[in-house]
């Protein structure tokens, strides 16, 4: 990609470890050119954010850019940067230039709380977004409420964020763990006809929430969860060797395995599971397995795996095809799921602020509650007022080899396998009812 060295009319500011640098406009996919470096921290305006000036709107990203989920934060931040660049080329939001401020939460709730306080009290951001980890998001949510700044989730899936730990300042644009658990369970039990399951996942809030709702969905389908689930284990996020967990799944005698991993843990587990022959013993499924950052390094060993997908680059809609094609053209690779989710999330936020005509937290919240917008990739979404959870479809995909794939992008992307959509679940079939969430706003 050729760099344009002409003067940039607009810039998006990225902060990391207390230093802000201006990142030049880089089109859709991100050939960034560093054009400056210095301290751009404004004076605090107190609780409630209020950092936007006449010319700027500031968004804080207490993201994960180191540790086991570094890749998730990297991809999510990429989506925010790309969308901010597009917004700024088209006049920003309410005529204000969008600025992004990034801090590394190091996959720690305590660090994320410190990040959030800094972003609000020192950098004067108007909104908090991102936060890939479910456990970390649960630490950030009450702080956002305390500081009076809206927090919009675009990645994490714990049901509690828009469930029993919900609060007025928290919204989630992406799908949640209960939705994914219900879709995966129905697919495995109804479509594939499996009778017994083995479960393994990382040991924190999101996989724990998935197991809880797998059990709940089995009961809804008329099964006794204790009869169906032959084994269930949780592995620390920093696990290097999954041999004991794989052996337990093999010894369980189950028909299918649920593997609830993402990022580096997912790559490690899938690679070792194939090497140990687990895929020969049972069908493997998950709720985030079929993602580009997993398929790229694992390759053909992903073939035959099924997974829930909140979004996939193979989704065949006009808006999605255009965005993915442009991304591939500029990058020579397929976009990652969490890049798309950030793009979708910031699109929704921009629409809400434009509709509200203000970045005031009360105006933002009252406008977002019950708001319906056109998602650029998936159609109409609505933000439920009762729990601040967006209505999103879920897709079930099966990973196929390039020779088996008859859709778009063959030869255009670096991955040799493709996520083939085999079933779509409409929001009302997998979302929890407002009575189920435990949220009272």
Tell me what pLDDT residue 361 has.
Answer: 98
Least trusted range by pLDDT, from 37-41, 95-99, 234-238: 37-41
Tell me the pLDDT tens digit for each residue of 236-277: 999 999 999 999 999 999 999 999 999 999 999 999 999 999
- According to DSSP, the β-strands at 379-382 and 97-104 are unpaired
179 closest CA partner among 159, 203, 207, 156: 159
Q: What is the DSSP letter of 405?
A: -
- According to DSSP, the β-strands at 394-401 and 11-16 are unpaired
| Stretch 135-162: mean pLDDT | 96
pLDDT at 404 over 70: yes
* Average pLDDT across the chain, whole number: 88
Q: Which residues contact 143 (CB under 8 A, 6 or more apart)?
A: 113, 116, 117
Tell me what pLDDT residue 52 has.
Answer: 60
The more confidently predicted of residues 34 and 416 is 416
Tell me what pLDDT residue 188 has.
Answer: 98
Q: What pLDDT band is residue 53 in, cutting at 50, 70 and 90?
A: low
Q: Which residues contact 8 (CB under 8 A, 6 or more apart)?
A: 24, 25, 35
Tell me the pLDDT tens digit for each residue of 306-363: 999 999 999 999 999 999 999 999 988 999 999 999 999 999 999 999 999 999 999 9
Q: Which residues contact 71 (CB under 8 A, 6 or more apart)?
A: 263, 264, 293
Least trusted range by pLDDT, from 53-62, 222-231, 249-258, 416-425: 53-62
Tell me the pLDDT tens digit for each residue of 187-238: 999 999 999 999 999 999 889 999 999 999 999 999 999 999 999 999 999 9
Q: CB-based burial of residue 157 (10 Å sphere; 0-12 exposed, 13-18 middle, 19+ buried)?
A: buried
Q: What pLDDT band is residue 15 in, cutting at 50, 70 and 90?
A: very low
| E-state strands within 240-365 | 256-260, 283-286, 306-309
pLDDT at 56 over 50: yes
- The H or E element that residue 232 is part of is strand 229-235
How far is Cα of residue 178 from the mean position of the Cα atoms in its chain?
Answer: 14
Tell me what pLDDT residue 87 has.
Answer: 98
Tokens 């398929």 appear where?
A: 295
Q: What pLDDT band is residue 40 in, cutting at 50, 70 and 90?
A: very low
Q: What pLDDT band is residue 34 in, cutting at 50, 70 and 90?
A: very low
Least trusted range by pLDDT, from 30-44, 92-106, 400-414: 30-44
Structural contact between residues 158 and 135, judged by C-beta atoms closer than 8 angstroms = yes
pLDDT at 74 over 60: yes
Tell me what pLDDT residue 116 has.
Answer: 98
* Structural domains in the chain, sorted by start: 11-175+320-382 (3.40.50.2300), 177-309+393-437 (3.40.50.2300)
């Amino acid at each position: 990609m050729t760099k344009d060295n002409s003067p940039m009319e607009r810039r998006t500011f990225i902060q990391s470890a207390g230093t802000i640098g201006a990142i030049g406009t880089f089109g859709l996919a991100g050939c960034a050119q560093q054009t400056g470096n210095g301290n751009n921290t404004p004076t605090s305006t107190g609780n409630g954010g209020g950092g936007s000036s006449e010319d700027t709107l500031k968004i804080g990203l207490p993201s994960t850019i180191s540790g086991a989920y570094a890749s998730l934060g990297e991809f999510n931040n990429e989506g925010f940067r790309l969308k901010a660049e597009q917004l700024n080329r088209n006049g920003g939001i309410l005529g204000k230039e969008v600025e992004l401020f990034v801090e590394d939460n190091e996959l720690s709730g305590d660090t994320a709380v410190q990040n959030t306080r800094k972003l609000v009290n020192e950098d004067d951001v108007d909104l908090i977004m991102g936060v890939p980890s479910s456990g970390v998001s649960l630490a950030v949510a009450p702080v956002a409420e305390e500081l009076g700044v809206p927090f919009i989730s675009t990645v994490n899936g714990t049901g509690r964020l828009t469930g029993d730990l919900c609060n007025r300042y928290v919204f989630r644009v992406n799908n949640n763990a209960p939705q994914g658990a219900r879709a995966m369970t129905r697919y495995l039990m109804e479509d594939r006809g499996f009778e017994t399951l083995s479960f393994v996942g990382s040991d924190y809030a999101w996989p724990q929430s998935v197991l809880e709702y797998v059990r709940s969905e089995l009961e809804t389908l008329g099964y006794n969860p204790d009869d169906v689930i032959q084994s269930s284990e949780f592995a620390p996020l920093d696990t290097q060797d999954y041999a004991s967990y794989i052996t337990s799944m093999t010894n369980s005698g189950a028909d299918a395995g649920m593997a609830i991993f993402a990022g580096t843990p997912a790559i490690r587990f899938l690679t070792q599971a194939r090497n140990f022959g687990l895929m020969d013993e049972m069908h493997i499924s998950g709720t985030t397995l079929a993602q580009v950052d997993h398929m790229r390094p694992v390759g053909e060993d992903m073939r035959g795996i099924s997974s829930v997908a909140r979004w996939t680059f193979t989704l065949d809609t006009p808006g999605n095809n255009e965005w993915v094609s442009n991304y591939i053209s500029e990058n020579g690779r397929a976009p990652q799921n969490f890049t798309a989710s950030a793009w979708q999330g910031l699109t929704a936020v921009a629409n809400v602020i434009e509709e509200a005509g203000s970045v005031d937290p009360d105006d933002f919240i009252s406008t977002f509650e019950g708001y319906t917008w056109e998602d650029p990739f998936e159609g109409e979404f609505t933000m439920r007022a009762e729990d601040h959870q967006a209505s999103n479809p879920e897709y079930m995909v099966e990973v196929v080899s390039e020779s088996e794939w008859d859709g778009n992008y063959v030869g255009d992307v670096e991955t040799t396998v493709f996520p083939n959509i085999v079933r779509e679940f409409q929001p009302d079939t997998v979302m929890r009812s407002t009575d189920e969430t435990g949220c009272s706003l």
